Amino acid sequence: MHELGLLAEIVDKIEEVAKENNVTEIETLVLDVGEYSGVVPAYLEDCFPAVIEGTMLAKTKLKLNIIEGKAYCHDCGKTFMIAGHEQNCPYCNSQKCEVIEGGEFVIKEIVAR
């Protein structure tokens, strides 16, 4: 479960930046999690309380935005939602497709007081 390590790194970095900017409380942490990022949202939610315990984020709420997978077909030039297509283009059936959304795992927003 690499989600625990990912969250620990995020919390460490947020604490570091918060201290540098005299922020004492983080109200909400918003993460964008792509369907094809390899990160399991349920694991993030399960690990979060343990990771923030004893930190300045102890009262922080976690909000996850799930980003749907979207791909681009290099043969026909169309964009499509990946779900249900197994990365084959639904327009021309090409396998020359590239994920353009849904692979991200980023801090979207930090709401501080």
Residue 74 placed within a domain: no
**What CATH code is carried by the domain that includes residue 48?**
3.30.2320.50
Q: What averages of pLDDT result for each successive group of 10 residues across the chain (113 residues)?
A: 91 96 95 95 97 96 97 96 85 94 96 88
DSSP 42: H
Q: Count of domains in the chain?
A: 1
Tell me, what's the pLDDT at 84? 81
* pLDDT attached to residue 1: 59
The verdict on residue 91 lying in a domain is: no
How is 30-46 classified by DSSP, letter by letter?
A: EEEEETTSS--HHHHHH
Does a structural domain hold residue 88?
Answer: no
* Distance from the first to the final alpha carbon of the chain: 31
Give domain status of residue 93, yes or no.
no
**40-68: pLDDT as tens digits:** 999 999 999 999 999 999 999 999 999 99
**Residue 85: predicted pLDDT:** 75
Q: Is residue 48 part of a domain?
A: yes
pTM of the model: 0.86
Give the per-residue pLDDT at 81.
93
Q: Which two tokens stand for residue 67?
A: 């980003």
Report which of 64, 66, 60 is spatially closest to residue 31, judged by C-alpha positions: 64
Which pLDDT does position 78 carry in this prediction? Answer: 97
In a domain, 94, yes or no: no
Q: Which residue range forms the structural domain that includes residue 60?
A: 3-68+102-112
